[in-house]
Amino acid sequence: MDPVTPLFPTPFMHIKRLVDREMLVDMAKELENQTWFRNVHTDLLTHTEIVNPASNKMFLKLRKLVMPKVVDFGSVMFGERLKWSVKEVWVNVLHHGGHQATHSHANSFVSGVIYLTQSHQSSNIVFHRNGGGGIDFVFANSHENMEINPYNAAKWQSDDIDAGDLVLFPSYLLHGVPTNEGDKRVSIAFNAIPDQINSWGYKIKFSK
């Protein structure tokens, strides 16, 4: 086959062991006092309230670790090391047998997940190719004899996620979590925005 060029790839960043074991233990203790809310789709997934990270000492400590990585990831997306802020954060607990429905995050540019426990392979985050399901026609060649590759795949699942890991991805990406076949999975999710973006002098600024 002649050379194939990957046009406009989508970035995904996986930072291994960003949070050390001591900090993971401290966060687990603090989460014991949190108020939990049932997910609308399943009783086996619960969340804390979505809050500003400045409202919680634990989230403030995490922000110091996370922000340099967000700036790095943002420079890949926008070609410039912009000033970023985490605008909201929350904790998810996925029990055995639970799942998270496919969704995306509105009004943000970079989304991230910090894993406080190891994620069973079955419940690693899955990203879906955007498009379809609306008013547009969708054609697909999917059957047992076709070979899946990065150009025709409908979804992609991350691999080998351990406690303390951070993953970053563009907020527009559709993503979800399949049925968890392992132990309880605890993670912290957040959304981040830059202070502004600039298109040849036409600037759009974002408030916190």
pLDDT digits (tens, 9 = 90+) for 85-115: 999 999 999 999 999 999 999 999 999 999 9
**Per-residue pLDDT, 197:** 97
Measured CA to CA, the distance from residue 177 to residue 154 in angstroms comes to 15
The label of the residue with tokens 């974002």 reads: 206
**Per-residue pLDDT, 108:** 96
Give the class (CATH, top level) of 13-129+148-194: mainly beta
Q: Which among 7, 37, 3 has a CA at the least distance from the CA of 150?
A: 7
The domain segmentation of the chain, as residue ranges, is 13-129+148-194
- Extract the runs of DSSP E, i.e. beta strands, from 23-149: 37-38, 45-47, 84-94, 100-103, 110-115, 126-128
pLDDT digits (tens, 9 = 90+) for 155-195: 999 999 999 999 999 999 999 999 999 999 999 999 999 99
Instruction: Please state the φ and ψ torsions of residue 26, each to the nearest 5 degrees.
Output: -60, -40
Measured CA to CA, the distance from residue 139 to residue 132 in angstroms comes to 9
What's the predicted TM-score (pTM) here? 0.94
